[in-house]
Amino acid sequence: MIQRFPWLSCILSILLSTALCQSAYAIDLDEATLTVPLNTSGKTTVLTPEQVKRGKRLFNNTCSQCHNGGITKTNPNIGLDPEGLSLATPPRDNIEGLIDYMKNPTSYDGAESIAELHPSIKSAEIFPKMRNLTDDDLFTIAGHILIQPKVVLEKWGGGKIYY
């Protein structure tokens, strides 16, 4: 049969090689990389690969216009790197802190609301990309922000020298 239809063997070999090599296209992250701080009390959570993938997609669609590569275009002195997030008041270096910020953003010192300037759930009428985000979406975006320093290392939040 293969001699009668030589194109069939070509198609079968392509399908077989695609099926066997499919995992080579995705990055495999270990549990240490997928483990991120949940809150300031030290609890952690392990993200699933699906959450990581969804978080990346949502971050790229919603946040990357101003935070591409973990920088902050409007204020290059404050990035999404672990040190910058941990020095904010309240600390934003955990899932709950980032979700709180995405719902109701405050200045770096926590003294005043910046919801009219920064996209957030509170200001969804001004920033339409925030309208349909659920708490699960915010969780996955926060997870993406927190695993990036483990994946791209110092490039995340590194600024002009990398991007």
In angstroms, rounded to a whole number, what is the distance separating the alpha carbons of residues 81 and 157?
5
Hey, what domains does the chain have and what are their CATH numbers? Answer: 29-155 (1.10.760.10)
In angstroms, rounded to a whole number, what is the distance separating the alpha carbons of residues 148 and 155?
9
In angstroms, rounded to a whole number, what is the distance separating the alpha carbons of residues 42 and 147?
16
Enumerate the known binding-site residues for heme c.
63, 66-67, 118
In angstroms, rounded to a whole number, what is the distance separating the alpha carbons of residues 78 and 70?
9
Omega of the bond leading into 149 within 30 degrees of 0 (cis): no
For residue range 48-80, what is the model confidence (pLDDT) as tens digits?
A: 999 999 999 999 999 999 999 999 998 888 899
The owner of tokens 């701080």 is 37
Confidence of residue 18 (pLDDT cuts 50, 70, 90): low
Global confidence as pTM: 0.80
Phi, psi (5° rounding) for residue 95? -60, -50
For residue range 94-120, what is the model confidence (pLDDT) as tens digits?
A: 999 999 999 999 999 999 999 999 999
